């Protein structure tokens, strides 16, 4: 299965990234590039929507942590929402569900394909 990142900006300077497919060693550079683009455009609050993410290995987990560390260093945060199945289980086992969890009642913008 392929991996895609769909991107949308919030009016408040945040970004919403919808991850689809399998996040692993071969696809994590695409997520890293999308996060870098978000930070480069001034986003400091990053919401990663994992609703359509079907797999995440340790390199994906590491990318989430690096993204949060960078956001925090720049006065912001990175949060995860929408994880289900195996992805949710991995996030709970690692403790990231608690550390990087997001209130799902917050509104999300309409995404567009990253580019």
Separation in Å, CA 55 to CA 27, 66, 97: 11, 19, 15
Asked if residue 20 is part of any domain, the answer here is no
Asked if residue 51 is part of any domain, the answer here is yes
Asked if residue 54 is part of any domain, the answer here is yes
Asked if residue 81 is part of any domain, the answer here is yes
pTM summary value: 0.85
Asked if residue 83 is part of any domain, the answer here is yes
Residues 31-61 have pLDDT tens digits of 999 999 999 999 999 999 999 999 999 999 9
What's the structural domain count of the chain?
1
Q: In whole angstroms, what is the distance from residue 17 CA to residue 108 CA?
A: 10
Print the SS3 string covering 22-87.
EECCCCHHHHHHHHHHHHHCCCCEEEEEEEEEEEECHHHHHHHHHHHHHHHHCCCEEEEECCCHHH
Asked if residue 99 is part of any domain, the answer here is yes
Structural domain boundaries, residue 71: 47-103
């Amino acid at each position: 299965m392929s991996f895609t990142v769909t991107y949308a900006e919030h009016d408040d300077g945040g970004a919403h990234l919808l991850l689809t497919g399998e996040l692993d060693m071969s696809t994590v550079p695409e997520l890293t590039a999308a996060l870098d683009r978000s930070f480069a455009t001034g986003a400091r609050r990053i919401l990663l929507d994992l609703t359509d993410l079907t797999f995440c290995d340790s390199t994906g987990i590491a990318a989430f942590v690096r993204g949060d560390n960078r956001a925090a260093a720049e006065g912001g945060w990175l949060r995860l929402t929408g994880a289900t199945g195996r992805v949710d289980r991995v996030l709970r086992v690692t403790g990231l569900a608690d550390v990087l969890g997001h209130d799902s009642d917050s509104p999300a913008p309409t995404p567009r394909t990253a580019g």
